[in-house]
Structure 1
Amino acid sequence: MFFDQSPYPVRFEWGEQAIQHLAPHSEAVVVVDVLSFSTCVEVALSRKAQVLPYRWKDHTARQHAQKHGALLASSERRFDGQFSLSPVSLQTLPEGAKLVLPSPNGASLSALAAEVPGVQVFTACLRNARAVGEFLRDRFSSVLLVAAGEKWMDGTLRPAIEDLWGCGAVIQALDLPGSETRSPEAEMARVAFEHIQQDVLHHLQSCASGRELVERGFAADVLLAGQLNTSRVVPHFLEETYGWLEETH
């Protein structure tokens, strides 16, 4: 198929269609949802917690949490003492906790990728991009980076540039020699990240998604998400749960 980027070990594409068309031809899939699913997972795992992504933002999320003996994060972003899709709210998550995290973007992509036979699923954000890339580099011969994006009001995909940057940061860390190892799509993501690398936080605060969060009172979430390569957490999705697979050095 022309669209699967299979001649290249490192691939990049957007949203659910990436999972459908490219994941079956890849050994590893990395879901990138910088603001904020992937950052939430990284923050939670840095607390030695486990994250159970949940695709639906309805009453069934509570039932899912009860089934697994887990805490339930609010599907609405908030930091009023309740755990939520605000990464800042998860900085006080009890160590070793289980957390159900409802998210229509990152959680859905993680679940869809996990349904593809033989594929290992990870998630990455700007905070742990280098750690994830370095971990994958010597372990997999084909890696697909999936930018989650956001949704327009009609439910269609809105490409979100912060997820392009996050994918590019992981691709840079994969550091495979020669541009021929990266599809043109993956190379585009890498170059886009390198363009903003020297001032990641400024660009994150200035892009559409970042400006939305700042104006809604969640500037602290953007600040946390923009801390480039401050984490060594490598989130691995296995049996409906993101856990910290291994610390890299």
Structure 2
Amino acid sequence: MTVSFGWGPAEARALTGPEPAGAARTACVVVVDVLSFTTTVGVAVEAGSAVHPYRRRDASAETYAREKDAVLAVGRRAVTPEHPYSLSPAALRAAPAPLPARLVLPSPNGSTISAEAAAGDATVIAASLRNPTAVARRLAAHGYGTAGRPLAVVAAGERWPDGSLRPALEDLLGAGAVLAALRAACPDLTLTPEATAAATLWTATKDPVAALHGCASGRELYAYGCPQDVEVAAEIDASTTVPVLVDGAFQEAP
């Protein structure tokens, strides 16, 4: 199978590692973390920033940001007028222009998947509900999803308190949107049953915006006082920017 769908860092590692189970090594991984890593990456890259993903927000992230001569994004609750750069796409959009040239964005889900995929030398693309058509067009233009260039769309999901993966509807929808757009652009591609199911769910969802606001992660952001982050993430197909990981940072695809 040349176009697959899966969940989390372990999937990215299995698909791009030295001995992927039963198939050629994946040439491209599309990371989907709608609330909010890949949405925030898209907003930042649109504004001209290069985004360095990082797995943790701790002292090592501060060191990494200094090494990259970059600004470290803070947690949502730590945003101030002096430092408005965070994982919140709404806060980032509201920040004074221009954004920092380089931004380090810690995220235990989307950043970790990006790192696992990049370690296997796969091309890594950040997708959200804001850019599925643009992502699908780039994938098709570069021949991803063919036998010689296998493609995987990996949904980030969330984490339970014990650290285990919690599948998340918003990421399933985001992945499905990319896969449905790719299937429409290249009907001859072979999708795994899992990828087909994700694409079918997207096309069958009558009101994806309502689903995004009402899903568990959307409700969590409302409770957290960040409904604007859900609103930004629900701007379906509003962006033509395709962030690609180049030299450790997401940048706009040439």
Query: Contact 1:23–1:144 (CA<8 Å) still a contact in 2?
Result: no
**CA offsets per residue over residues 71-100 of structure 1, 9 Å max, x none?**
110144565432111011111252462101
**CA offsets per residue over residues 44-74 of structure 1, 9 Å max, x none?**
0010110011111101111111111111101
**CA offsets per residue over residues 186-205 of structure 1, 9 Å max, x none?**
01110111122x42211100
SS in structure 2 opposite 1:181? Answer: coil
Query: Contact 1:39–1:124 (CA<8 Å) still a contact in 2?
Result: yes
Matches within 5 A, 1:133-152: 133-139=136-142, 140=144, 141=146, 142-152=150-160
Residue identity (%): 42
Q: Within 2, Cα distance between the matches of 1:77 and 1:169?
A: 31
Query: Contact 2:8–2:156 (CA<8 Å) still a contact in 1?
Result: yes
**TM-score (ref. length: structure 1):** 0.90
Q: Does 1:31 align with 2:40?
A: no
Aligned residue in 2 for 1:5: none
Query: Contact 1:12–1:146 (CA<8 Å) still a contact in 2?
Result: yes
Aligned residue in 2 for 1:194: 203
Q: Within 1, Cα distance between the matches of 2:139 and 2:27?
A: 10
Query: Contact 2:70–2:100 (CA<8 Å) still a contact in 1?
Result: no
Aligned residue in 1 for 2:22: none
Query: Contact 2:8–2:157 (CA<8 Å) still a contact in 1?
Result: yes
SS in structure 2 opposite 1:154? Answer: coil
Residue of structure 2 aligned with 1:245, choices 226, 236, 253: 253
Larger deviation, residues 16-25 vs 32-41 = 16-25
Q: Does 1:236 align with 2:229?
A: no
Cα offset for 1:21? Answer: 1.9
Residue of structure 2 aligned with 1:183, choices 192, 208, 212: 192
Matches within 5 A, 1:1-249: 8-24=1-17, 25-76=25-76, 79-81=79-81, 82-91=84-93, 92=95, 94-95=98-99, 97-117=101-121, 119-139=122-142, 140=144, 141=146, 142-175=150-183, 176-178=186-188, 181-196=190-205, 198-246=206-254
Q: Within 2, Cα distance between the matches of 1:80 and 1:68?
A: 23
Query: Contact 1:77–1:85 (CA<8 Å) still a contact in 2?
Result: no
RMSD: 1.5
Q: Within 2, Cα distance between the matches of 1:237 and 1:138?
A: 17
- Unmatched runs of 5 consecutive residues or more in structure 2: 18-24
Q: Within 2, Cα distance between the matches of 1:159 and 1:230?
A: 25
Query: Contact 1:47–1:96 (CA<8 Å) still a contact in 2?
Result: no
Query: Contact 1:31–1:148 (CA<8 Å) still a contact in 2?
Result: yes
- Unmatched runs of 5 consecutive residues or more in structure 1: 1-7
Aligned residues: 236
